[in-house]
């Protein structure tokens, strides 16, 4: 049996990825596929508890990176790997590229250390497709929900997000075979047309 595919959604906070996840999941379900949508940090009971800590508690940078990958380890074992093995398609709201972008780009943890964690947690698995929702910083900031109390990351300064975005774009160039950069400044309907085309080619 054909195994499922692994699609990840990435981008800085406010880039708009959350709007498009249900749309892509529906496109796939309409083709009769089993689709699992999930998120990081989180996706499991333990992962969601780690998410609470990660989003609200100040901690050492390496502790933050370790907990991101700890949550990911659990997520792979409990959700992602079993789903792919039974032929389901998995859509994850963020995965390891977020650790490279936020902890690496934003917080300047060395790529070497992050690659060590990546090798430990998923030595071979990579997403089949990574959709990077990209917008200039000012656009992303304006989109952040003004009603909601910002979490630890959303409270970061502009230069943090600039560095995070730069690292996302650098990775998109380095791993061009699996990345697609989605210009997220465009109207939702235009982005959806592009997504429809991308999914058809998968
Ligand atoms: P996010 O996915 O933006 O969810 P919401 O839409 O509910 O705010 O929030 C997750 C935050 O965690 C986001 O600011 C990025 C951060 N993050 C990392 O710093 N490293 C990681 O490895 C992951 C998965 C997320």
Rounded to the nearest angstrom, the distance between the alpha carbon of 39 and the centre of ligand 1 is 9
Tell me: pLDDT of 1 over 70.
no
Provide the pLDDT for residue 3.
75
80 exposed, middle or buried (CB, 10 Å; 0-12, 13-18, 19+)? buried
Provide the pLDDT for residue 61.
98
Report the nearest-CA residue for atom 1 of ligand 1.
Answer: 13
Question: How far apart, in whole angstroms, are the C-alpha atoms of residue 138 and residue 53?
Answer: 28
Local confidence band at 178 (pLDDT 50, 70, 90 cut-offs)? very high
Reported as a single tens digit per residue, the pLDDT across 18-60 is 999 999 999 999 999 999 999 999 999 999 999 999 999 999 9
Reported as a single tens digit per residue, the pLDDT across 68-82 is 999 999 999 999 999
Percent of the chain with pLDDT over 70: 99
Is the Cα dihedral 32, 4, 127, 94 positive or negative? positive
Mean pLDDT of 149-178: 96
Mean pLDDT of 188-201: 96
Question: How far apart, in whole angstroms, are the C-alpha atoms of residue 113 and residue 134?
Answer: 26
Rounded to the nearest angstrom, the distance between the alpha carbon of 87 and the centre of ligand 1 is 27
* Ligand 1 pocket, residue 153 CB under 6 Å: yes
Local confidence band at 2 (pLDDT 50, 70, 90 cut-offs)? low
Q: Is the pTM of this model over 0.75?
A: yes
* Ligand 1 pocket, residue 140 CB under 6 Å: no
Rounded to the nearest angstrom, the distance between the alpha carbon of 154 and the centre of ligand 1 is 9
Rounded to the nearest angstrom, the distance between the alpha carbon of 16 and the centre of ligand 1 is 13
Report the nearest-CA residue for atom 9 of ligand 1.
Answer: 13
Mean pLDDT of 1-7: 82
Tell me: pLDDT of 147 over 80.
no
Residue 56 vs residues 4, 43, 60, 153: alpha-carbon distances, Å: 34, 17, 13, 9
């Amino acid at each position: 049996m054909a195994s499922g595919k692994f699609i990840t959604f990435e981008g800085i906070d406010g880039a708009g990825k959350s709007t498009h996840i249900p749309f892509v999941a529906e496109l796939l379900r309409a083709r009769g596929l089993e689709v699992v949508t999930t998120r990081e940090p989180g996706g499991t009971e333990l992962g969601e508890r780690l998410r609470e800590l990660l989003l609200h508690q100040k901690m050492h940078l390496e502790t933050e990176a370790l907990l991101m990958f700890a949550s990911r380890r659990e997520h792979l074992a409990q959700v992602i790997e079993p789903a792919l093995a039974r032929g389901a398609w998995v859509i994850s709201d963020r995965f390891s590229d977020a650790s490279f972008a936020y902890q690496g780009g934003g917080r300047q943890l060395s790529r070497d250390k992050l690659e060590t964690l990546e090798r430990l947690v998923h030595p071979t698995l990579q997403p089949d497709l990574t959709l990077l929702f990209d917008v200039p910083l000012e656009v992303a900031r304006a989109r952040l929900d003004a009603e909601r109390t910002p979490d630890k990351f959303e409270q970061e300064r502009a230069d943090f997000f600039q560095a995070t975005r730069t690292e996302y774009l650098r990775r998109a160039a380095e791993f061009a075979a699996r990345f697609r950069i989605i210009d997220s400044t465009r109207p939702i309907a235009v982005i959806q047309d592009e997504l429809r085309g991308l999914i058809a080619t998968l």
